[in-house]
Each structure stands twice: as structure tokens, then as C-alpha cells.
Amino acid sequence: MIKGHHAILIEKPQDAIRIMQQIGVDPGALPYMTPKAIHRCLLLKDIKAQAALILKQEMLSRGGEAAIRRSALACQGETDVLLMGTLRQFELLTDKIARQPFGLAKLAVEIKQILGNLQTETQTMELANGKSLSLENRTVIMGILNITPDSFSDGGKYLQTDAALARAVEMTEQGADIIDVGAVSSRPDAELASETEEIERIAPVVERLCQQGITVSVDTFRPRVAEICLQIGAHLINDIGRLQLEPGLLEILVEYQASVVLMHNRLQMRRGEPYNDIVADIIAELQESIDQATSGGLDRSKIIIDPGIGFGKDVAQNRLLIKRLWEFKSMGLPILLGASRKRFIGQTLDTEVHDRLEGSLAVAALGIMNGANIIRVHDVLASKRLAQMMDAVRNEQ
């Protein structure tokens, strides 16, 4: 008789609980067994050899594993550490090293934080000017509205306020939750518009959209532009400079209690600097801006992170970031993915900018599966349908 034996994919504690409940496991045993069902791998960077050896010894004694550099076995220098174990093994490990020297007590806190972040989902984000954004069990659609003469995809189409408003309403009707308005092209070869030009382009459009009750994100790195737009009703600032391009933006965000997207960028900053480990490097640079924001008075719950697809990454690196997007969940913040119609899609498929729908949808689907909470898109209707289907499958019990 064929039994139907098979492997089970368990990604969350709820998955393990559901299966054990189906089996009929004693409810009292669930809290003890659930942490054993989920296996995690954590990469720790630049750990002192003495600490790495303790980590390895303690993890091995609990049935887990820790991979370290060979030279660290002789207590020499520093090493990255790959920790491998179940949630239960990590729990026992952190309890033990919390009382150890060589920086291990601090590391125990950081390990617990990362593991907690992987299991925690943001429910609702409070935006500026009385708006909120639900992120619970759904993918948020951010529609792109470029009011520039030279954007790579639709430059020049929506320069007039009425045309911009009509396009925003159309995208909202197609399912966009947020309209992201940008008045300066971030193309590598684009001429940077002045602050005055940016304000003259963007302020009338933002004001009209807010009057229509549309949730508005403003794509700017300039403090004065952000301030004017927040004064007239904008709800979110999308900063391609992660607070580094112009001083003063953080103070504006704090004053208006505005949420912000912090995007990684090696196009305008640190251009040409090679990556060591691209995900680790991006996480470290984003964390630098997060620390700056929270130290300056912005609540952490106001921050969204964006790995910055296309901004100082080559084709292979962009594809790798999509593949490894899940790793950014370690930071415990909502993830925005902005890959729609970008050059790496065209270079992969050999297509021009207006012939990249299928590639954009494929990237969006992979992004959603790998943890993206918000996708920034040109093709709203197709992307909305894709996201609805993805969400329905992911939320199925």
C-alpha cells in the first residue's frame, strides 16, 4: 500500500503547529516541539577568534554547527561564522553565551533580535498626515508617477498637472495603494534638476493628489522639497540617498513624524566601490542610516528599507539581490522592491524599456516570495493581479 510519505516545508512556527495539530499532538507539547521544527542559518561577520571558538563549541554541544575560518582554530584574528541550528538550539546557545566574555553577551542579544525579526511581520505602518498603511498578509502596490522630462520609462508624459492627476487616479483604480511621485530623474546620465525646478513640478501634483484622498509618497532626497510636500499633505518620503545625499532631511521627517523609505545607493554615493559580500555590505550601510535616523529621533516603526535595485549594481548583482531578498528580513523592517522595467531586466531578456512586462512581473513574484512587502511598479493592474494571486497562495493554510 502506498502511504504518501513526503517532505514538508516549514517556514514559520505556525506551519509546524498546524501540522502537529493535524497529527493530534498533545497541545502541551507544542511549545517544546515547535522550535525544533525550524532550522536557521545565521552569518555573523568579523567575530574575534576566541568568541568564534566558544560559539562553535557551544553550538556543537547542542547538536548544531558553526563554520569558522581555519586559522581561527589557532585563536588568530577574526572570522566570519556560519551558525546552523534549530530555533531551540539557538535558544539554548544564546542563553549560555549571554554570560560569556569576548563580546558574546552583546552577540547573544543580536542573534535573538535577528531570529525574532525573521518571525515578526509589520501589521500597520503609521504615515504622516493621518494616513496608515496595512501590511498584514498582503503586498502593497506603489504606482510610479514620474513628472520629469527625462525618466527612463515614461519621461515627459505627465508633466502637466492634469495629466499627472489623471494617471494617478487611473493607477489607484487599478489597485495602487500608494502613488510615488518623482520630479527628478535618477538615471545615471540624467541632468539633475534644481531644487526650485523640483518644487515647481512636484508641489501642485502632490497637493491635488492629497485633495483626492490618494496616499502619496514623494520621491526626493532634498529636505526643502520633503518639507513643502509634507506641509501640503504628503504621507511618505522615498529617499534614494538614505539620508546621506543632503543634510537636514532627518529633521524634517522627525518634525512631521513622516515615514521614510531608506534606499541603498552606490550610484550617487561610493560609486564604483566594489562589494565584498553584497548583501552584508548593503545591510551594514542601511543599518548605518537606520541608526542615524533613530538616534536623531525618528521611531524605527517609521522606516522601510529598499536594497536599491539598479543603483550601483551590475546585472548579476541585481539578480542575486532578488534571489537573496529574504535575507533582508533579518533587519525586521518592511522591504520595498523597486525593479519594474529596469535595465537589468532588459539586459537579461534583450528587451527595450516598454517590452519588459513579463520580466518585471517575474521579478515581482520572486520578490514577494522572498519577503517584499511593497513593490514599486509601472504596470499597476498586472502587478496588482499578480500580487493578489501570490498573497492568496502564501496565506493558504
Catalytic residues: 342, 376
Q: Look up residue 41 and give its three cell numbers.
A: 542559518
For residue 241, the number of C-alpha atoms closer than 13 Å in the C-beta half-sphere is 16
Say if CB 272 and CB 314 are below 8 A apart. no
Encode burial over 10-21: b for 16+ CB neighbours within 10 A, e otherwise: beebebbbeebe
- For residue 285, count other CB atoms closer than 10 A to its CB: 19
Place of cell 516570495: 369
Place of cell 489597485: 175
Spatial distance between the Cα atoms of 194 and 173, rounded to a whole number of angstroms = 33
